[in-house]
Structure 1
Amino acid sequence: MTAAPRDGGGNPGAAAVTVRPRKVLRVAWACAVLSVVFFTVIAVLLRNSPTGVFFRLADQIAMVLMGLFVAGGVLLLARPRVRADADGIEVRNILVTRHVPWDQVRGVAFPDGASWARLDLPDDEYLSILAIQAVDGAYAVDGIRAVRALYAAASPDGAQATSEQS
C-alpha cells in the first residue's frame, strides 16, 4: 500500500492511496514461471518420446506458446489494484476497471468471512475490491482503513457508515 500527496485538483492536502494484493501477486508470478518452465520441458522432451508419433519443431514451439498463454492467464490474477483519493475510488479487478465517485459509495465493507473487501453502492449493489484480500492479513487491514479514511473525509455521512461496518 502506498500513500502519496495529490498532484493537483480536489483537496491538495489529501493523500492518494494505492493498494495491491501481496500474496496472490507472489503466487501468480511463481505459477506463471513454473507453467512456462513446465511446458518448455515438455516441448524439449517431445522429440525423444517413443510413442510412435512424430513431433516436429512446430509442435515444440506450440507447446512453449501454450505455456506462455497459460502464464498470461495466471498473471491476470496479479492485476487487481485500488486507487483512492479525495475525488473517488478506482477499482481495477481482473478484467474491468471502474471509477466510482465518493458520492455514489454508500460504504466500504469487509464482511465477516469474505475473501476481499467491497464497495457498497446504491440499490443494494456492490463492487468487489479484489486488491484488498483477507489472506494479506495486517496489510489488508491497513489498506481498508486507509480507503475508509478517505471515504469518511470525502462524504459527510461517510464517518457514520464506516463506523457501523467496522
Structure 2
Amino acid sequence: MPGPGDGGTTPDGAPSGRALDDVFRPRAARWVTVVLAALVAVATVLLLVLLPGTGLVGLGVGDRLGIGLLGAAIVWFCWRQATVSATPTPEGLRVRNLATTRTVPWAQIVWVRFGEGRPWVQLDLDDGDTLAVMGVQRADGELAQREARRLATLVASRTRTARDD
C-alpha cells in the first residue's frame, strides 16, 4: 500500500508526491534568485578587478568598498529569498520568510488560504492575525496548488482534537 511520499494519497484523498511533513520550498523563486546571486557575485568581482584604480578618473578605495558592499547586500538578499521555507516540527510550523522567521504552534493555525490573487499561502491564526507562507508561491503553478493542499492536510492532522467531527 503506497504511503505519503511515494506517490500515494494524503489522509483526505488528495494525491501526494511528497511526505506530509516534508519542508515546503518554492521552486521557481529559488532557482531564479540563486542564478541572480551568482551573476551579481561574478559581476561585482569583475567590476572590482577590471575598473581602473586610483587616479583622476579611477576609483578610490571608498568607491571599491561601496561596490563590494552593494554586491554583497544584493547576494545576501537573493540568498534570503532562495531560502524561504515552511518547516513542520512537532511543536508547530516554522515559517522562514524574506525578513523574519517565526514558529507558529499547530493549535494557533485556524485556516490555510491560497485563493486567486494571493502570491503565496496565507495562514489565519487564532488571534485574528495572518501570516504569509512564502514557501508556497503561486509562481510554481500546479506544484503550488498541491503544496497548499498538502499544508492544509498537515494542519488539519496536527490540530485534530477529540472534539473534532
Q: TM-score band, normalised by the shorter chain?
A: 0.7 to 0.9
Per the alignment, do residues 40 and 87 of structure 1 end up closer, same or farther by CA in structure 2, a change over 3 Å counting? closer
Q: TM-score, normalised by structure 1?
A: 0.73
TM (norm. structure 2) is: 0.74
Letter in 1 for 2:58: F
More strand by share: 1
Distance 2:155 2:58 in 1: 62
Distance in 1 (alpha carbons) for counterparts of 2:75 and 2:59: 23
What is residue 20 of structure 1 aligned with on the other side? 25
Quote the Cα distance in structure 2 between the aligned partners of 1:109 and 1:135.
16
Query: What count of residue pairs does the alignment treat as equivalent?
Result: 147
**Where does the alignment leave 5 or more consecutive residues of structure 1 unmatched?**
5-13, 161-166
> Which whole-Å deviations, capped at 9, do the CAs of 1:63-109 have from their partners, x for residues lacking one?
34432232112221112111125642111112322111221111011
| RMSD between superposed Cα atoms in Å | 3.0
Question: Which of 66, 70, 83 pairs up with 2:70?
Answer: 66
Choose between structure 1 and 2: higher helix proportion: 1
User: Which range is displaced more, 110-119 or 66-75?
Assistant: 66-75
Instruction: Tell whether the 8 Å contact from 1:17 to 1:85 is kept in structure 2 after alignment.
Output: no
1:45 and 2:22 correspond? no
Partner of 1:7: none
Is the contact made by 1:3 and 1:16 (CA closer than 8 Å) also made in structure 2? no
Q: Taking every aligned residue pair, what percent have the same amino acid on both sides?
A: 29
Q: Does 1:114 align with 2:83?
A: no
Structure 2 stretches of 5 or more lacking a match?
7-18
Residue deviations 1:35-56, cap 9 Å, x none?
122222222332179x932335
1:87–1:101 Cα contact (<8 Å) kept? yes
Write the distance in 1 (CA, Å) between the matches of 2:93 and 2:128. Answer: 18
